[in-house]
Chain A
Amino acid sequence: MNILSAEFLILCAASAVFLWVFSRFQRKLPVLLCNLAFLYFLRARPQDLAYLAALIISTWLAAKLIKAWPGKRWPLVLSVSVPAAVLLLFKYAGFVLPHAGIMMPLGLSFYTFRAISYIAECAKGECEVKDLIAVADYIAFFPVFQAGPINRPQPFFKQLETPFVFDYRDQKNGFIQAVLGLFQKLVIADQLSHLTGAFLNVKLSGIYTLLGVILYAFQIYVDFDAYSNVAVGTARLLGFRISRNFHTPYLAVSLRDFWNRWHISLSSWLRDYIYIPLGGGRKGLVRKYLNTLAVFFVSGIWHGSGMMFIVWGLGHGVLNVLEDILRQKVGVKPWMKWFAPIAVLFNFAAVAFLWIFFRSPDAAEAGRIIASLGSVQLPASAAELAETAGITYNELLWAGVLILMVFISDLMRYKTDMLEFLANRSFPVRWAFYLALMIIAVIFGVYGPGYHPEDFIYVTF
């Protein structure tokens, strides 16, 4: 079930009302029922549902065993390695056996990491062992089921055990966040996707490819941020606070800063459950850098099958290591803040360059794009630029407006919670803002004949 579908929207609205009414004393059962309704409408294959059920039960049992036998490591190893192996199998089955028709269950990457997260927390003694319903609620929590964020167990269980109290402002902010997510997807991301395709056309090079790479960087950001906003907003509407998944990543001044702002739930997961257990930075510089490379290698594998994801992951790993070496050598100086805009630009360039590998199905395509970047193909005017790319001048202009829109909203979000900011405005100001969004969506939205809303990029991971 696509989160852009009417089914999903109706399910969210119905679930919200259901939870508001029936969660005054306990939320476990109502949340479970909502999750079951979601899985029903998802029309998942029986074997996928069976695996999900098995994972939930095994995770619940594993946590109990870990608690029961604190000295034994095998329940932990088994309960982490088996789901991880299954995930790896599904990820790479298509790569190894392309004609076998093996399809990965929807949301597997995300709910596997949630299950591992719960077991790891229990093993560390930081999370209480929960009953089966609570574990099921956590692993299959429907707003975040398909593409995250990979929320942590502790805060979720805490909220699950707290009786629900309707807070108008909170619920409203959740709703607005979800709607803004839809706006981001239908107005910005899908439009950028169409334009990215036009500029990264095999026949074009030079400035066209450069623009295509920049547009793709914004597309993937807005696309995933849109999904995360819908998921976090929906969860909030249902009375669950989930941490944000993105925090203005393209305003990061370094790659380390970028990974603190990009797909935060995944990068923090990798840090807490891979980097730190491997020793983090506590076992010397060489080990630290190896650990860094290992984390980014896993991140590459997690994102998809194929060498290009590994290249993308390791590319980030290597640049992170180089950046750290540079930081060690130069240190952090007060005057550096004056060069922050330049650092932001450099950082964006590095990230956008690495997205080439992320987007390319194989090395040949990545090579073609990189080679195209090196060639000189300059149009005489913006109109010619648009025409050569096969789009209209207005579309080119709109692409610029969209990027500006993303940039300005990120600047505003950098230090301000925009939802609270908006909620504190007067009624006419708030509604004038909503009206502006409606007008933009109606005119420029990707809906209706001639438009094909694309799947969220991260749902395929």
Chain B
Amino acid sequence: MKKTVLNILRIAFKCVLACALFVCVWVKLTPLFRTERNPEGDFFRNLPEQTLDVVALGSSHMQYAFSPAFFYTRTGLYSYVLGSPCQPLSMTYSLLRECLKRQSPSVAIIDVFTLLPQSEVCYADGMFYRAIDEMSGTTRAEAADLVPDESVRLQYKYDLLMNHDNWKTIDLNALDEHMETVKPSDGFNYDLGYVPALPEDPEYYPLVTYEVKEKKELLASEKEDLDRIMDLCRENDIRLIFVKTPYVIDQDSTDKLAAVWAYLDEKGAEYIDYVEKADELDWFVGMDGDSWHNNSWGAKIVTDDLAARISGKDLKQPHREDPVWEELLKGMVRNAAYLLMNVRNVNVYHLLEDAAEYPSILLCRYKGGKWTTLGDTENEYLQRAGLNHDFVKDFDKSYYAVVLNGVLLKESSSPFSFTLHDHKIVLGEDEITIDGASVGKAGEMDLVFASDSFDWVNPIPVDYQSRWFWNNGCEGFRCTASE
């Protein structure tokens, strides 16, 4: 009997020891060999606690459509995009929970793209993985529980526990470096979750919308996902705004989107349909985005509109200025100036508007003469950008000016040279040179937009023929002049 008891104790002890050892090895080792650790979650968690005012969540549609830099420029508030490709709504909920661990945002903006049939094309194994990988602690496992398909759910749970594929690719000569990379990542996402895209096809194609043809119903699981988010926001006193960012929608998705809005109406939730509002906001396919994603100009339209609806009054606690955020946003706003005004942008109206709002230099060379006539609209734009000249009344007088961040630094009716940030600018009668290099040399007028350090320069020549700029009757920038 005594021997039996001893044997049982011995077996029990060794089983426990083996299990404990195995669990320790597993817990310690597998994170070192997980593939493609997504540092985005770490970047978000590195932000100072309780400083975030607005959080935007959703798929890539949201990542491309909402820019914290544009939002900050208009409102002075801090915002962040917690997005991931094709982010299902259940993952949006989990990411919002992750966000609430360290932050207490007053407004949540959520894109509903993944409720629409068109999102099915981006369904992939990775969509849960990418979102889950941004989370931490138990939220990860809880998020995996929300994966609807059981086999996929198990796969994700296994993946969280068992992914160990990285041994195949790690550099054996730089193991230390590898061990560094598996630690939580330092630093920040310098775009604060926004994904910048430059315009690729600057043409004005109106966004085609459809009438609702078929009355659709949301699935129970979809309602559950929406309810869960609404409940969480209610519990945390967060103003919740569902949006659909502008994109090339089809009939099927139009019908489904109507069902989403109907359900949100029923629940008394706030929502904005930017597909519907595209026309009103002058949002064009090509100019402001491709079939799915907004480019930087489209993002500005969407973000500015949201900024107009959200103000300091919406905050549940006063906005807290923070040096980390200020530093990050300063850099991002400078980058926003590039995204808006770089050489791809030849829309001088946008450029003049943006030059007044974003850190940039505007150089103007205007050679007055009897043929040089500008319209009233253009004159207003030029003046709003900081130029102190009436181009309508004094159309025949030459004008040369340097404007920095919307502030006129120097103007003259005759050519002059000027040194700015150690760069020598020469505003000549027929050309503008920066450090000896010609940047504007055509016709009657040159407008040169540049960063304050001249690391990007966008010269816009305005000659006699294009005196009305491009607005009248022209469908895009490929035509050079209006009649």
Whether B169 and A394, one on each chain, are in contact in the complex, defined by CB atoms closer than 8 angstroms, is yes
Does B163 sit within 8 A of A, measured CB to CB?
A: yes
Residue of A nearest to B170 (CB): A394
Interface residues of A in 429-461 (CB under 8 A from B): 431, 434-435, 438-439, 442-445, 447-450
A187 to B200, CA, bound (A): 49
Taking CB atoms, residues of chain A closer than 8 Å to B433 are none
Most buried by A among B22, B25, B163: B25
> Residue A448 contacts which of B17, B161, B167, B172 (CB distance < 8 angstroms)?
B161
Taking CB atoms, residues of chain B closer than 8 Å to A392 are 168-169
Whether B29 and A450, one on each chain, are in contact in the complex, defined by CB atoms closer than 8 angstroms, is no
Taking CB atoms, residues of chain A closer than 8 Å to B25 are 435, 438-439, 442
> Residue B21 contacts which of A394, A398, A435, A445 (CB distance < 8 angstroms)?
A435
Taking CB atoms, residues of chain A closer than 8 Å to B282 are none
A320 to B172, CA, bound (A): 45
A448 to B162, CA, bound (A): 5
Interface residues of B in 251-297 (CB under 8 A from A): none
Taking CB atoms, residues of chain A closer than 8 Å to B30 are 442
Report the interface size class on chain A.
20 to 34
Report the interface size class on chain B.
20 to 34
**Smallest CB separation, B56 vs chain A (Å):** 30
Main secondary structure on B side of the interface with A: helix
Please judge, given known A-B contacts A394-B169, A448-B159, whether A443 and B164 are in contact too, CB under 8 Å.
yes
Does A25 sit within 8 A of B, measured CB to CB?
A: no
Most buried by B among A434, A445, A449: A449
A447 to B4, CA, bound (A): 36
Taking CB atoms, residues of chain B closer than 8 Å to A395 are 168
Does A335 sit within 8 A of B, measured CB to CB?
A: no
**Smallest CB separation, A191 vs chain B (Å):** 10
Taking CB atoms, residues of chain B closer than 8 Å to A448 are 158-159, 161-164
Does A168 sit within 8 A of B, measured CB to CB?
A: yes
> Residue B155 contacts which of A394, A447, A449 (CB distance < 8 angstroms)?
A449
Please judge, given known A-B contacts A166-B7, A450-B165, whether A442 and B158 are in contact too, CB under 8 Å.
no
Main secondary structure on A side of the interface with B: helix
Interface residues of A in 350-392 (CB under 8 A from B): 391-392
A395 to B165, CA, bound (A): 11
Whether A442 and B161, one on each chain, are in contact in the complex, defined by CB atoms closer than 8 angstroms, is no
Whether A447 and B21, one on each chain, are in contact in the complex, defined by CB atoms closer than 8 angstroms, is no
Taking CB atoms, residues of chain B closer than 8 Å to A444 are 167
A431 to B21, CA, bound (A): 10
**Smallest CB separation, A401 vs chain B (Å):** 12
Residue of A nearest to B26 (CB): A442
Please judge, given known A-B contacts A447-B162, A448-B158, A449-B158, whether A434 and B21 are in contact too, CB under 8 Å.
yes
Whether B170 and A449, one on each chain, are in contact in the complex, defined by CB atoms closer than 8 angstroms, is no
Does B183 sit within 8 A of A, measured CB to CB?
A: no
**Smallest CB separation, A453 vs chain B (Å):** 12
Please judge, given known A-B contacts A394-B167, A394-B170, A448-B158, whether A443 and B21 are in contact too, CB under 8 Å.
no
Whether A394 and B7, one on each chain, are in contact in the complex, defined by CB atoms closer than 8 angstroms, is no
B interface residues, Cβ below 8 angstroms from A: 4, 7, 10-11, 17-18, 21-22, 25-26, 29-30, 33, 155, 158-159, 161-165, 167-170, 172
A interface residues, Cβ below 8 angstroms from B: 166, 168, 391-392, 394-395, 397-398, 431, 434-435, 438-439, 442-445, 447-450
Instruction: Enumerate 22 A-B pairs (CB-CB under 8 Å) in ascending A order.
Output: A166-B4, A168-B10, A168-B11, A391-B168, A392-B169, A394-B168, A394-B170, A395-B168, A434-B21, A435-B21, A438-B25, A439-B25, A443-B33, A447-B162, A448-B158, A448-B161, A448-B162, A448-B163, A449-B158, A449-B162, A449-B165, A450-B163
What are the nearest 7 A-B pairs in CB distance?
Answer: A448-B162, A392-B168, A449-B159, A438-B25, A442-B29, A394-B168, A450-B165
